[in-house]
Amino acid sequence: SLAYIGAYAQAKGFQVKIINIGENTPFSFYYLKKIIEDYQPRLVGFSTYQRNFFYVLGIAKAIKEINPEIKTIIGGPQATFLPSTSLEQSPIDFICRTEGEQAFYFLAEKLRQGEKDLLVPGCSCKLEDGHFYDSPPIASFKTLDHLPSPYLTDGLIEFEKIEEAILLTSRGCPYQCIFCYTPNAFKQKVFFHSVERVIEEIDRITKRGIKKIWFADPSFSLQLERVEQLMEKIIEKNFSLEIWLETRADLINTELLKKMKRAGVKQIAYGLESASERVLACLKKKISLEQIKNAIRLTQQQGIGVELFTQFALPFETFADAIMTLKFLKDNKVLIQGNSNAQQTQIYFGTELSWNYKNYGIFPLENRRPAYLSIGDQYETSCLTYQEIQQIKSLWEKESLDGRKRKVS
C-alpha cells in the first residue's frame, strides 16, 4: 500500500523514500535522525494499525523533535474512522480518510507550492488553532489501471530483499461482515485492475527472480470470468509461480480450481470464522457451513492446500461453539498452521461490531483507553469471560503445527 502511494507521488515529480520497519528490522532513533537529516523530507506518512499505533506516535514525536517543520500524516485501517479529537494533542498533522494516493499527493503539492491553507481533500487536517477540520471527500476511482504500479516503477521496491510479492488486482468488498472494516471503507464497492495490467506486473516481478505471489484481494474470484482469464494468461506465459490467494467459499467451482492449479496456486484461504451456524448467521457473512465444506473438498481434490480464517470470542459464541470451530478444521483435514491459526476477534473502528458493540454483547475491559485505540481484543462477551477466552486461545495454540508463526490480524 505504501508503495502504491509512493509510485503515485513519484509519478507527479516528488522524491519518495519508503522505510519498512518490522519485528526483525534494525532500527534506532539514531538511525531515524540520520535518515531525516540526510533525506530532509517535508512530509512523512505512516500506515497505521491498532497494533502499531503507539510506535507511530513515538516515531512521529521524535521526527517533530528533529525538525518541527516536517508535516506528518497517518493512513491505513486505524486512521479511516479514527475520531479526530483523539489526536489533537499528538504529533500528527493529517488523518487520511480515503485511499492514500490522491490525498498524499494533494498535501505534498500544497507543501511544494508553499501554501498556507492546508485543508486537503479526503483528510482531517490540524490547523493553527490545534483543532482538526474535515475536508470534503475524494471520489473513489472507477478503475485502477491509471494508478502507477510500484512494481513497474523504478526505485521503490528492493526486489532483492523480498521473497514474495504482494499484488492487489482489486480493491474493496461488496459484503457486510460485521467484524470487517473493508466494506465500509470502500462503501461496499469493488474496483479492478485489468488482466493485462496484472500480467505486466507478474512479468516484471518474475524477471527480477521472484516466483512467490500473494494476491491480497479480499475476494479474489468475485468476477469469475475475469479470474479465469487471468489464470489462463498465467498458464500461457508459463511463469512457474507459487501463488497464495484468499476468496469466499461461494466464489469458486471445479473448472476454476483446475485452472488455478495449473497456474501455480498452492494455497487458498477461505473465511470460515465460526463452525456454529448460529454464530455464522450473526456475522452477516451470508454463507453456510455446507458451502465451506464443499469448497474445501473441491480445493483439496485439485491438490491445492486450504487455509481457513477462523476467530473466537465472536458475538454470542459459547465455549462449545468455539470448540466446534476447532473440530471443524480437524474433521475437514485442514492443517492448523499459517492463517488457519485462529485468533480472537479484533473490534476495530469502522466495523458494525465497533459501532454497535453493546447490541452484540461485547463488554470492554477498559473504558479509559486512549480514544485513538479501538476496543481491539480487550473485552469479554455475554457468553465468554476473559478467562474463558484465554482458555480457548490456549487450546488453539496447543493444536498449532507451526507455533502460530503466521496469522492474520
> Given this model, what pLDDT does residue 368 score?
84
pLDDT digits (tens, 9 = 90+) for 77-109: 999 999 999 999 999 999 999 999 999 999 999
Q: Is the dihedral of CA 134, 140, 141, 147 positive or negative?
A: positive
Residue pair 78/55 in contact by the 8 Å Cβ criterion: no
Residue pair 173/131 in contact by the 8 Å Cβ criterion: no
pLDDT digits (tens, 9 = 90+) for 278-315: 999 999 999 999 999 999 999 999 999 999 999 999 99
> Given this model, what pLDDT does residue 161 score?
83
> What is the pTM (predicted TM-score) of this model?
0.93
Average pLDDT for 387-403: 95
Give me the percent of the chain exceeding a pLDDT of 90: 88
> Given this model, what pLDDT does residue 409 score?
47
Average pLDDT for 167-181: 95
CA distance 46 to 73: 6
pLDDT digits (tens, 9 = 90+) for 231-265: 999 999 999 999 999 999 999 999 999 999 999 99
Chain centre distance of CA 51: 13
Residue pair 246/270 in contact by the 8 Å Cβ criterion: yes
Mean pLDDT of the chain: 94
> Given this model, what pLDDT does residue 327 score?
97
Give me the percent of the chain exceeding a pLDDT of 70: 99
Residue pair 357/347 in contact by the 8 Å Cβ criterion: yes
Average pLDDT for 49-72: 95
Other residues' Cβ atoms within 10 Å of the Cβ of residue 332: 17
Average pLDDT for 385-403: 95
Beta strands in 178-304 (DSSP E): 190-192, 212-215, 242-247, 265-273
Q: Does residue 276 have a pLDDT over 70?
A: yes
pLDDT digits (tens, 9 = 90+) for 110-169: 999 999 888 999 999 999 999 999 999 988 777 899 999 999 998 888 888 889 999 999
> Given this model, what pLDDT does residue 406 score?
59
**Residue 67: pLDDT band by 50, 70, 90 thresholds?**
very high
Query: Which H, E and C letters describe 318-385, residue by residue?
Result: CHHHHHHHHHHHHHCCCCCCHHHCCEECCECCCCHHHHCHHHHCEEECCCCCCCCCCCECCEEECCCC
